[in-house]
Amino acid sequence: MKIKSFTELRKNKFATRVEFARAFGISEVMAYNYENGIGKPRIREIPRLAELLGCTIEEIVLGFIEEEIKHKKGD
């Protein structure tokens, strides 16, 4: 199974970060933080996030880990 970053998961459902932020009920800044390994949703929000993005909870968690690794390497 190829691990997709959170950004990839988001782009599968929402063309823009703004669309995602509005659908999930967060600010554009928070969506930016999610995609850049700076912030993460609260644990209780992950099931709703997985449903919104049409993926599993495991994919969401692995996606955030992948995002952190990607940004720590500077890619």
Q: What is the pLDDT of residues 7-63, one digit of tens each?
A: 999 999 999 999 999 999 999 999 999 998 888 999 999 999 999 999 999 999 999
Closest among 27, 24, 38, 73 to 10, alpha carbons compared: 24
List the domain boundaries for the chain: 6-73
Find out whether 9 and 60 touch, Cβ atoms under 8 Å.
yes
Checking if the pLDDT of 75 tops 70, the result is no
Q: What six digits make up the tokens of 49? A: 């996030």
For 17-43, the three-class secondary structure string (H helix, E strand, C coil) is: HHHHHHHHCCCHHHHHHHHCCCCCCCH
pLDDT range class, residue 1, cuts 50, 70, 90: low
Q: How far is CA 54 from CA 46, 47, 70, in A?
A: 12, 10, 23
What class does CATH assign to 6-73?
A: mainly alpha
